[in-house]
Amino acid sequence: MVADGWGSTGDGAAARQAAWNGSPDQQWQITDRGNGRYSIANRSTGLVLDGGGQVPSGSVTKQWTWGTSTDLLWTFQPTS
């Protein structure tokens, strides 16, 4: 399963899981925004993943137009 933007172009649209099919809706560009933080933009729509701020575990990840909110920034942690 992969993250899929489903071609949604409106702020607040959900990023959903889907089986890999290679479409641009399932391709994401990671951009270094400094200080160990990154934005993750959908190749098809240009919207970035939005964590939504203070939300409970299991909440839907939204897509949003890039802006200054820290909700649009992500970090990566190494695995062992």
CATH number for 40: 2.80.10.50
Q: What is the pTM of this model?
A: 0.90
Q: Report yes or no on 78 lying in a domain.
A: no
pLDDT reported for residue 27: 97
For residue 80, being part of any structural domain is answered with: no
CB 17 within 8 A of CB 3: yes
Domain total in the chain: 1
Domain annotation covers residue 79? no
Q: Residue 15: inside a domain, yes or no?
A: yes
Domain that holds residue 19: 2-72
CB 72 within 8 A of CB 39: yes
Q: Per residue of the chain (80 residues), what is the pLDDT tens digit?
A: 999 999 999 999 999 999 999 999 999 999 999 999 999 999 999 999 999 887 888 888 999 999 999 999 999 999 98
